[in-house]
Amino acid sequence: MRELTYAQAIQEGLHQSMWADPRVILIGEGVPDPKAIFGTTAGLRESFGPQRVFDMPLSENGMTGICIGAALSGLRPVMVHQRIDFGLLAMDQLVNNASKWHYMFDGLAHVPMVVRFIIGRGWGQGPQHSQSLQALFAHIPGFKVALPATAYDAKGMLISAIKDNNPVIFIEHRWLHNIKDAVPAEAYSTPLDCARVLHEGDRVTVAAFSYMVVEAMQVARALAPHGIRIEVIDMRSARPLDVDTVAKSVRKTGHLLVLDTAWSSGSIAGELVARVVEKEFSALRKAPMRIALPDYPVPTSHHMAEGYYPGAIQIHEAISALTAVTLAPAAHEAVLASVRHSGPHDVPNIRFTGPF
């Protein structure tokens, strides 16, 4: 089976979208530079030329407005920001204009635009370079907010996002960029409003966003040999939230655990917990749980950041608490061993050596 990394899948999705539709343009700080946004825009200027692939001034709000204006005059811009933290500079144009234009002008116009934001962690990115701000966008009507967790979905959802006539906030976790997955060569669209059951189970529903899907799947695979089957749902989108898929699963499992890469308070994990409870209260056998970041910024020092990011171990613990299942000590050890992060905690893999 053909495999690509998530970054390659993004690149391929961009390439095929630009090839299919001459209205698609690509712009962002560093888009055509040698590092090519972690490789996701590699070769695109060479393929489509400087009239469709742009670097840009460090003017996040203005350039967002310029892209909105270009979209309203017939183009389909894809903007890229290397860090979602920079998106805070563009909140005015995104929230006041892009999200509302179609609505407030009675559907007479629309803003077909994709804004790629990269969230992440590790290597001392620190308080201002590794926020996970998806909740800020997920609250806003008029946006679609995509958070693909696999290379397959990264490509398919990006293609959908570019074809979509609404502003789509497309959020990639950096620790996903190097993970491989089977990715068909042809162009394909993945819906922007459906969660996906990645691993079937009956003991507990684990609904995960973005990179937390990876952690959840590790636990699912580690527990399966011990007869504990958990249902892992890759939420894929934060807006709209596919509550139905989760609700259906909860009706089966009776337990809900939600995983997010963001600060816990006010996270989309909280929203999902609330929605499921409002809908499926009687199906729940215990209080739902969520695992997300503690409510403070991440410090830069890797020593101090140790333990900041919950992962497979914490997921495993939460599942044990929810299901009240106790593994035999040896089995328990085996599970822990198989999910433990190998190498330094602040890098996605041992090949990662900085410097950013």
Partner 1 sequence: MMKTPAKLIESYRAMLRIRRVEEALADRYAEQQMRCPMHLCIGQEAIAAGVCMALRRDDVVYSNHRAHGHYLAKGGDLNAMVAELYGRTTGCCGGRGGSMHLIDQRAGFMGSTAIVGGTVPLAVGAAWAARLQSKDFLGVAFFGDGCFEEGVIHESLNFASLHRLPVLFVCENNNFAVYTPLSERQPARPIHAIAQAHGWHTWTGDGNDVEAVAAIACEAANRARAGEGPQFIELETYRWREHCGPNFDEELNYRSIGEIAAGKQRCPVARSRAKLIGECLATEASLDAIEHGIAVEINEAFQFALSSPLPLGTDAATKVLAVSNSCAN
Ligand X SMILES: Cc1ncc(C[n+]2csc(CCOP(=O)(O)OP(=O)(O)O)c2C)c(N)n1
Report the catalytic residues.
60, 129
Tell whether residue 62 is a contact of a second copy (CB under 8 A): no
Residues 83-102 that bind partner 1 (CB under 8 A): 85-86, 89, 92-93, 96-97, 101-102
Q: Which is nearer to ligand X, 81 or 144 (CB)?
A: 81
263, two tokens: 């600060």
User: What letters, b where the CB count within 10 A reaches 16 and e where it falls short, cover 26-47?
Assistant: bbbbbbbeeebbbbbbbebbee
Q: Which is nearer to a second copy, 76 or 102 (CB)?
A: 102
Torsion angle of C-alpha atoms 237, 238, 244, 245, degrees rounded to 10: 40
Contacts of residue 278, defined as CB under 8 A and 6 or more positions apart, other chains included, come to: none
Q: Which is nearer to ligand X, 53 or 289 (CB)?
A: 53
Tell whether residue 247 is a contact of a second copy (CB under 8 A): no
Contacts of residue 162, defined as CB under 8 A and 6 or more positions apart, other chains included, come to: 13, 14, 17, 21, 24, 76, 78, 112, 114
> To the nearest whole angstrom, how small is the minimum distance from the Cβ of residue 270 to ligand X?
28
**Total residues binding a second copy (CB under 8 A):** 54
Looking at this protein, which amino acid is placed at residue 40?
T
What is the pattern of x (binds partner 1, CB under 8 A) and - over residues 125-144?
xxxxx-----------xx-x
Among 61, 178, 314, 320, binds partner 1 (CB under 8 A): 61
Strand-strand pairing, 205-208 and 180-182 = unpaired
Tell whether residue 100 is a contact of a second copy (CB under 8 A): yes
> To the nearest whole angstrom, how small is the minimum distance from the Cβ of residue 65 to partner 1?
3
135 binds, among partner 1, ligand X, a second copy, none (CB under 5 to 8 A by kind): a second copy
**Total residues binding partner 1 (CB under 8 A):** 85
Q: What angle do CA 88, 93, 99 make, to 5 degrees?
A: 105
> To the nearest whole angstrom, how small is the minimum distance from the Cβ of residue 269 to ligand X?
27
> First CA to last CA across the chain, in angstroms?
32
Tell whether residue 267 is a contact of a second copy (CB under 8 A): yes
What is the pattern of x (binds ligand X, CB under 6 A) and - over residues 130-169?
----------------------------------------
Tell whether residue 34 is a contact of ligand X (CB under 6 A): no
Tell whether residue 49 is a contact of partner 1 (CB under 8 A): no
Q: Which is nearer to partner 1, 86 or 317 (CB)?
A: 86
Tell whether residue 55 is a contact of partner 1 (CB under 8 A): yes
The stretch among 160-168, 228-236, 269-277, 329-337 that binds partner 1 (CB under 8 A) is: 160-168
Among 12, 29, 153, 346, binds ligand X (CB under 6 A): 29
Tell whether residue 12 is a contact of ligand X (CB under 6 A): no
Q: Which residues bind ligand X (CB under 6 A)?
A: 29, 58, 60, 86, 89
Q: Which residues bind a second copy (CB under 8 A)?
A: 61, 85, 88-89, 91-92, 95-96, 100, 103-104, 126-128, 131, 133, 135-136, 138-142, 239, 241, 262-263, 265-271, 273-275, 277-282, 284, 286-290, 295-297, 299-300
